[in-house]
Amino acid sequence: MKKRMLAVMAAITVMLAGVGGRLGRLMLGGERATEAAAQIGKTVTVARPRGEFYDCKGRLLTGVQTRTVAVLPPTVKAVAAVTEQLRGEDAAMALQKLKSGSPALVEVPSDFLCEDAKRFTLPVRYTEHQPAVHLIGYLDGEDRGVTGLEAAFDDLLRDAPPLTVTYTVDAAGRPLSGLEAEVSGSPTSTNGVLLTLDSRLQQLAEEAASGLGKGCLLVMESATGNLLAAVSRPAFSPLDVAGALTAGDAPLIGRALCRYNVGSVFKLCVAAAALKEGVSPARTAECTGAMDVGDVTFHCHKREGHGVLDVAGALAASCNCCFIDLGRAIGGRAVLDLCVRLGFNRAFTLAEGLSAPAGTLPSEALLSSQPAALANFSFGQGDLMLTPLHVAVMVAAIANGGWQVTPQLVAGLIRGGAREETANAAPRRVLSEEDAALLRAMMEGVVESGTGRAAKPETGVAGGKTATAETGWVVDGRAICQSWFAGYWPADGTYTVVVLKEDGVGGAADCAPVFKSLIDAMAGAGF
């Protein structure tokens, strides 16, 4: 009771100060009194709604959390409510505004009560651990998109009138009692962007990638090219971009759209090109652990050699020597032709300003004139560099029966509440169904008995390929390598998954377990 009385006394004191000031002005003369009687409007801008991002099921990816704000007129009830229910800076700022006779916009608890208040529930743009943050991007201090999808669709997302509360006031700017404030606009926008991402799968991918350090994880729907999940590590908080700018390991970089040395994952392309050229999968070659090409000696990772292997055995063992032999047999042009058909020579644009750059490929002239360059190319080394997104396209083409798909992230737009769907690009056949089936059997052998055994899931059949790509960089006497695992699951190839770890030990050790962790989680979640 005592607390209530103190609140009321404080409210009366504040309001009397305001009334005293008004009376003083009115006593200055008839002309000023006439001005005071004039009724004009005072508008408080509550929020500038921004359209949200939604996943493929229509679930929110931004604006998931909410906060409550209230606009309070300078009345006794409002002052009492602030004094009783708020604490700290919020209360002090609100009382200062109310004392001056102006309405106050203040953040309040969701159960805040005041008859005179206009209360609103507003979306909070980001969470501390925002999903798909590298694709979505972030805003500047004026809520304009700076990077990613926020920048690409800034005009659409900002195209909403502000949420305002307008009071009728006198010439002194003080709200007139007895008149209802006018509310204009809405707390939310009727515009938005529909993405191909699946928020449930994105969360599973974020968890699976938590130990990558520096790297990325992609999940693509093999038949359509729709990106279902995309994670880059390290992550950053869109609530503290300044901190990310000074942090180590460049957390603002979206690694799924960066070029890397590819290594043995590219053996899938060489094997596919060989089958396309009519090479029998039963063709054999012998690995003695090393191979001389001109004046260059190439070593296999198994220095004592693998012995005689067919194409499937060479892929399962990731034998460099056997693939050098295979590349020399079909020639660089056959491999380059398939690279072009798979789109390695062009950028994949997901939205304006958000692209995976074209891969770097050796020229046909180089491959035909320098045998060592062709040897390097045959097991994914040399001048070759690709983004994880390009690698996903290659694996998806094998997983879905030989069709090359175009990656897609934006499924549609929402304008004024109406949906506008975005059609997927038509797939192109790049491999025969028979060759794709042979390659899937080989990839499943990699997981069952080859270098990718650590990727074998608890449920269903998976196929894949490991890689440990040399970069040519040496730091403190240590060679820097990029680790990969690229594969599909289940047996029908529904999902293509690519895992990359920068500066890794090897694909089998670094990335295959991440693949298994994700697939096991997907199976448990009903995917």
Q: Quick one: which of 423, 420, 424 has its CA closest to 192?
A: 420
CATH code for the domain of 398:
3.40.710.10
Q: Looking at the domain assignment, is residue 396 inside a domain?
A: yes
Q: Looking at the domain assignment, is residue 279 inside a domain?
A: yes
pTM exceeding the 0.95 threshold for the entire prediction: no
The domain tally of the chain equals: 1
Average pLDDT, the chain: 92
Confidence (pLDDT) at 179:
85
- Residue 418 to residue 236: CA distance in whole angstroms: 33
Q: Quick one: which of 513, 442, 453 has its CA closest to 268?
A: 442
Q: Is the CA virtual torsion 18, 19, 23, 26 positive or negative?
A: positive
Q: Looking at the domain assignment, is residue 365 inside a domain?
A: yes
- Give per-residue pLDDT as tens, 54-90: 999 999 999 999 999 999 999 999 999 999 999 988 8
pLDDT score of 463 more than 50: yes
Tell the residue number behind the tokens 């509440």, with chain if given: 417
Domain that holds residue 476: 195-524
Q: Looking at the domain assignment, is residue 185 inside a domain?
A: no
pLDDT band for 24, please (50, 70, 90 cuts).
Answer: very low
pLDDT score of 33 more than 80: no
Q: Looking at the domain assignment, is residue 490 inside a domain?
A: yes
- Give per-residue pLDDT as tens, 396-445: 999 999 999 999 999 999 999 999 999 999 999 999 999 999 999 999 99
Paired residues of 498 in beta bridges? 218, 486
Q: Looking at the domain assignment, is residue 367 inside a domain?
A: yes
Q: Looking at the domain assignment, is residue 261 inside a domain?
A: yes
- Give per-residue pLDDT as tens, 362-398: 999 999 999 999 999 999 999 999 999 999 999 999 9
